[in-house]
Amino acid sequence: MGTTRRIASGFRRRSGARRLHRRAAMVAGIAALGACALPVPASGSTTSASSAAARSGPVSTACPTDLTGKAACYTGQDPNGAYYAIAVPKT
């Protein structure tokens, strides 16, 4: 028997160094794609400004007309830079 063997589906399965080389290449490719998907922190003043805003918490703001008198409204920015708006109903 050579360096290949037939498996149940009828395809040949490689063994030995070729199979290990292919598996190592696949693992390296997946690792490279994973490294590209990691978030990179932005540099500059916007990062420090957004971090300062996130630490200070929500800021009171005017509510939309349909919520006036019914809720207290707040806006802010989280540590990742996402903006949010909150309406807290008055009881």
Please indicate whether residue 4 or residue 69 has the higher confidence score (pLDDT).
Answer: 69
Please indicate whether residue 78 or residue 4 has the higher confidence score (pLDDT).
Answer: 78
Average pLDDT over residues 36-55: 57
Res 73 pLDDT > 90:
yes
Q: Which residues of 37-46 are buried (b: 16+ CB within 10 A; e: fewer)?
A: eeeeeeeeee
Res 85 pLDDT > 80:
yes
Q: Compute the mean pLDDT over every residue in the chain, rounded to the nearest whole number.
A: 74
Maximum CA extent, the chain: 84
* Single-letter residue type at 28: A
